[in-house]
Amino acid sequence: MPNPAIIAAIAAAVVLVIFIAFGYLKAPPDTAYIISGLGKKRILIGKAGWRIPFFERVDKLSLSVMQVDVKTTEAVPTNEFINVSVDGVANVKISSDPELLKRAAEALLGKTRAEMVTLVTQVLEGNMREIVGSVGLKDMVQDRQGVAKKITENVVPDMEKLGIEVVNFNIQNFKDAAGTIENMGIDNVEQIRKNAQIAKANAQRDIAIATSQAQQEANAVKVEAEKKIAEQDAALAVQQADMKVRSDTKRAEADAAYSIQEENQRKVIEIAKTNADIARREKEAELKEKEIAIKERELEAQIKKQADAIKYQTEKEAEAELVKRQREADARHYEALKAAEAKKAEADAMRYAMEQEAEGIRAVGVAEAEAIEKKAEAQKKMGEASVLEMYLNALPEVVKNAASPLAKTDKIVMYGEGNSTKLVRDVMNSTDQIMQGVKESVGIDLSSLLAGFLGGKVATAAPAVDSTEPEQSADDETAPSLDE
């Protein structure tokens, strides 16, 4: 048998290997390993660590920099009500600070890089729109870095709630549909040109003064130079007049340009006000549409709730109807079973009665058969005497049946030789015909048997008895009856 100590050592070695294989972790510098499951949450960045296999899990958050392009989806009005589109770019990353990293683990764990960029873009765009709406167009154009700094300072608290730090933020471009920024550049160019012309005129004036002084000194030195000086003065006067005309013209042009620029600026402001009014009305229309949508959803929810209630009531009524029908079906089934059992009991009773009746009939038949069998045996022993006795017993019925039609006759009318004696004779002839038929069918001559039987009776009877007398009396009794 294996040694238990060896088995325990092998098991401990296997557990140790599993612990090492599944529990050892080494986090790179640009990724945070978040260990959770037992006890306090632990975070590893750029170092090794351990986790308890099967009881703790490891989630990863990338700490690399994410570049986010921030553009306003629609024009944003400045504090001068001039609609401006802003294009900026920001570099952000999940903070390595333990406190901020815990917030990032709660808010961003499980999100893809694209989802994080989308979330950061929305936050940056909202803050950028807020700052753009609080500064003027001129300050925005001239101090982009200052505006970017304001946006960064404004967005940091919101980013820290997500555990994200803003590395830097820069504004790349400003645009406006009305061309206000371009007009501002033209105004600056004209102003610079105007200043250059004024400087030039001042320089020319200084030159003229210096020249006049030099000429005055030259006049004191040389008389001959007076003519030339006069000519130069005349020429200078002409030039000065010409320069003055040109200077006045340029000044007038600059003043006109300034008036035109001022008018253009006024038009731009009016257009901006109009756009702001349109935007306000669009916002009001949008709010009204949202209110209508909310009311529609509320109405839809109410209708759906009523429909669900009706559906629930219908289902309950259907269930009650189904239960009622099932109970009725069970009752009919129970009644049918009871009726079948009653019919079965009645059939059993009838069958028992019929069996009893059949048993009685069979007993009667058996008794009659036994009586007939015994009678046949007696007749067999008695021979012709038995047959004769049967004939004599049946003879009155034969005569009765032969005379029965006469009993149903109210009146008999006879012509010629007809009388009661003849009628009796006809009846007796019928009896003779019956006896003759019996002789032909069964071979027994009843007349002979009767004659032999009567002869034996006469021989054994008393000698004084007259046999003819009763016959006569019989005839006498029969005749009156027939006459009647």
Give pLDDT tens digits for 306-327: 888 888 888 888 888 888 888 8
- Enter the tokens of residue 439: 């002789």
Q: Average pLDDT, whole number, for the chain?
A: 76
Q: Where are the domains of the chain?
A: 4-59, 64-177, 182-301, 384-483
Calculated CA dihedral for residues 238, 243, 244, 248, nearest 10 degrees? 150
Q: What is the arithmetic mean of pLDDT over 76-89?
A: 81
Give pLDDT tens digits for 238-297: 888 888 888 888 888 888 888 888 888 888 888 888 888 888 888 888 888 888 889 888
Query: Which pLDDT value is given to residue 8?
Result: 80
* Residue 93: pLDDT over 80: yes
Q: Which comes out higher in pLDDT, residue 474 or 284?
A: 284
Q: What is the arithmetic mean of pLDDT over 168-197?
A: 68
Query: Which pLDDT value is given to residue 411?
Result: 59
Give pLDDT tens digits for 10-26: 877 777 777 666 767 77
C-alpha span between 253 and 261 (Å, rounded): 12
Give pLDDT tens digits for 364-420: 777 877 777 777 676 666 655 665 666 666 666 666 665 666 566 665 555 555 555
Residue type, 26: K
Nearest CA among 107, 65, 110, 105 for reference residue 89:
65
Model pTM score: 0.34
Query: Which pLDDT value is given to residue 483?
Result: 37
pLDDT level of residue 454 (50, 70, 90 thresholds): low
pLDDT level of residue 467 (50, 70, 90 thresholds): very low
C-alpha span between 18 and 435 (Å, rounded): 132
Residue type, 97: D
For residues 22 and 53, is the Cβ–Cβ distance under 8 A? Answer: yes
Nearest CA among 212, 211, 115, 203 for reference residue 164:
115
Question: How many other CB atoms are found less than 10 A from the CB of residue 155?
Answer: 25
C-alpha span between 153 and 143 (Å, rounded): 16
For residues 420 and 482, is the Cβ–Cβ distance under 8 A? Answer: yes
165 CB contacts (<8 Å, ≥6 apart)? 92, 93, 94, 95, 97, 100, 156, 159
Calculated CA dihedral for residues 95, 96, 99, 104, nearest 10 degrees? 50
Query: Which pLDDT value is given to residue 145?
Result: 83
Of the chain, the percentage scoring pLDDT greater than 90 comes to: 0
> Rg of the Cα trace of the chain?
75
* Residue 62: pLDDT over 80: yes
Element (H, E) at 410: none
Give pLDDT tens digits for 204-254: 778 878 887 877 777 777 777 778 888 888 888 888 888 888 888 888 888
380-385 — which CB contacts under 8 Å span 24+ positions? 384/444, 384/449, 385/453
- 180-214 residues labelled b (16+ CB within 10 A) or e (exposed): bbeebeebeebeeebeebeeebeeeeeeeeeeeee
Query: Which pLDDT value is given to residue 468?
Result: 40
Query: Which pLDDT value is given to residue 376?
Result: 64
CATH code at 64-177: 3.30.479.30
Q: Which comes out higher in pLDDT, residue 453 or 272?
A: 272
243 CB contacts (<8 Å, ≥6 apart)? 201, 204
Q: Which comes out higher in pLDDT, residue 194 or 342?
A: 342
For residues 162 and 66, is the Cβ–Cβ distance under 8 A? Answer: no
